[in-house]
Structure formats: structure tokens, C-alpha cells
Amino acid sequence: MTNCVHVDRNGDNTKSYQQIVDNWLQGEVAAFPTETVYGLGADARNAQAIAKIYEAKGRPSDNPLIVHIGQIEQLQGFIDHVPEKAKLAIEAFWPGPLTAILPLKSGALAENVSAGLSTVGVRMPSHPVARELLTLANMPIAAPSANRSGKPSPTAASHVLEDLEGRIPYIVDGGPATAGLESTIVDFTVEPPALLRPGSITEEMLISVIGELQGAGRLRDQDAPKAPGMKYTHYAPEAPVLLAFLDDEDVTDKIEQLRSQGKRVALVATDSYRGLPHDAFVSLGESNEIEAVSSRLFAALRECNQLPIDVIVAAAYPAEGIGKALMNRLEKAAGGNWL
């Protein structure tokens, strides 16, 4: 049985938060909202609690977790030292969607948090619910995205329930996650620092603060072998996904070709593309702004699972700025396949 704890952003939620903190102290897991996606949290010092995260998600044990904190002072408890460039980036982008890979203080966290590595990913979320909860907890909370491994990341409490109902004791429902794409990951244990996963803190933003960045300009995670989890398929709805630049002249013909083969096509796009042929239309919203599209992507991929369709055609975007993070997730959902 999974309890859904609703929190009101304008009210006093201390009692609800205390319930979740007690649950964490007892070695249990709980899902909570962040500004990127919903996370599935547990006490990062407790190996048995961390094992429950891997089990609930069906996550391979060589895919390390990100540790979340509410206050910067908590770093001292488990980080060996903070490299100078990491300090600059932390000052510029925390709280926010930047995960810093930092040298772990030996023995400070359960080994299964970092999958045995001597480094650990850390982030201080800006979502008010996450921050208040993590500050009250005052312990490092390891939290991957709160979905079954391989499924699109959850951007609403209902998505968490879809995947994990009955598998976890608590979900904190704090409304939708606003960014909708997971954090940017940068490894600060190498010089120059290396971009391991693109996100809404863009390469340009990072370079303006820390100077050089390795791996900038690359789109595919395969090129970044230091991010262990990235070899796995991700974000995939049940039907196969094909990417397409929807302004291309031959898109209509190609979709019609699929339909003439008896395939029912779901078109995942912003409303301006409703005129293209489709059997089902899953809206990425009205706005073509990349932030708005990104915040809707995972929910749209999940919606496809409810529809009687055979193939998904998803709108592609130029891989620039946040578009790079969006295309990184879309390429994975599509397994690299284009219309």
C-alpha cells in the first residue's frame, strides 16, 4: 500500500514532512517532487534502505544514485573536498538542476549509493518541497528518478503511482515537476570538468562560469563512458518511437507510408502540428519554446501507453541549449531511430 501525502506549497507542511523524515530514519523509501522530476529517496548512509530503491525501481546495481541535500553545509559530512571549479558552479547554480560529481569521503555513505565508485553525484534541488523536506531531514538522501527502470521519468505524483504503487510506502505529492528533464551532470573530479549528462543548465551556462568543459558539443552519452548508468535504455514508452523534424517536406508522406502498412501512428508534437496525419495526437502544449516542450516530454511519452497505437512519431528539435538535453532524452526513447 502506498500513502500519498499531499503538501500545500502555501501552507505549513511540517507534520507531513516529519512523517517522511521518520520513514527515512526507519530505513524506508519515499518519493518526493523536485524541480526536475520526482525522486525516490532513502537515507544514503543506510545500505539496506538504498537496496530498497534499486529493488523498487528494478534498477541495475552498477548504476549509481544522486545524493540530495537541503543545505550546502551537509557536503562536509560525505565529500572529501570540493574542487575550486565545483565551488564556482555550486555558487552559480545551486539550488538548482546541476549534479556535481565530487570525491567521496571514504566510508561516509553506503557503498551501494555510488555503486562502489570513489566519487558521488550531489545536488541541492530548488523545488520548495524538496528543499524543506531535505533541510528538515538533515541527512544525505540518495534519490534516482521515481520510475521503474527504463520507463520515462515521472513528472507528476500520478506517474510515480503508475510505476511504483504498492512497491513504496510513501509519495509526497507537491504538484508537477517544472523542468521535466533530469539534472545536468558534471564530473568535477577530472580537469577540465566533464559534462556527463546534458540538462537545463546548459553547456554555455557552465562554460561561462567554469571556463573549459570536456564533452561539450557531444550529444550521445555513449561518448561519455564515465557516466555508468548511461549504457541502459531509458525513457521508453511501450510502442517504438521514431524522431522527425516535423517541418521537413517529406514528413506527411512518411507518416502516410506507415499508416498504409496498417500502423496506427501517435504524433507527439506541439499543437501547431495537428494538421499532420495521425491516428492519435499527444500534445506537447501550445508553445514551441524549448523549456515548455521539455517540461511536457515525459508525460507525453507516458500518455502514449494509454492509446491504441503501434508507433510513435515524436517531434525533434535542434540540439542547442536546452534542446540538447531534450534531444538526448528523445534519442534514447527512440533508440536512435528516425522516421
Stretch that binds ligand AMP, among 42-50, 119-127, 246-254, 331-339 (CB under 6 A): 119-127
Q: Does residue 145 have a known ligand-binding role?
A: yes
Report angle CA 272, 275, 278 to the nearest 5 degrees: 115
Q: Does 145 bind ligand AMP (CB under 6 A)?
A: yes
Stretch touching ligand AMP by CB under 6 A, among 75-83, 127-135, 224-232, 258-266: 224-232
- What would the DSSP string read from start to end of 92-144? HH-SSSEEEEEEBPTTSS-GGGTTT-SEEEEE----HHHHHHHHHH-S-EE--
36 is in an annotated binding site: yes
Residue 138 in marked binding region: no
Helix, strand, coil tally for the chain in percent (to 5) = 35, 20, 45
Cα 332 from Cα 220, distance rounded (Å): 9
Residue 128: is the preceding peptide bond cis (ω within 30°)? Answer: no
Residue 225 C-beta: closest distance to ligand AMP, Å: 10
Size of the site for Mg ion (CB under 5 A): 1
Residue type, 22: D
Q: Is 152 in the site for ligand AMP (CB under 6 A)?
A: no
Query: Which of these segments, 41-49, 108-116, 142-150, 159-167, binds Mg ion (CB under 5 A)?
Result: 142-150
Nearest to 330 by CA among 263, 268, 259, 286: 268
Site for ligand AMP in 187-206 (CB under 6 A): 196
Task: Using the minimum distance from each CB to Mg ion, give the nearer residue, 145 or 328.
Answer: 145
Which C-beta is closer to Mg ion: that of 13 or that of 145?
145
Q: Show binding-site residues for ATP.
A: 59, 63, 119, 145, 153, 197, 235
Residues near ligand AMP, by CB under 6 A: 63-66, 101, 114, 117, 119-121, 144-145, 182, 185, 196, 226-230
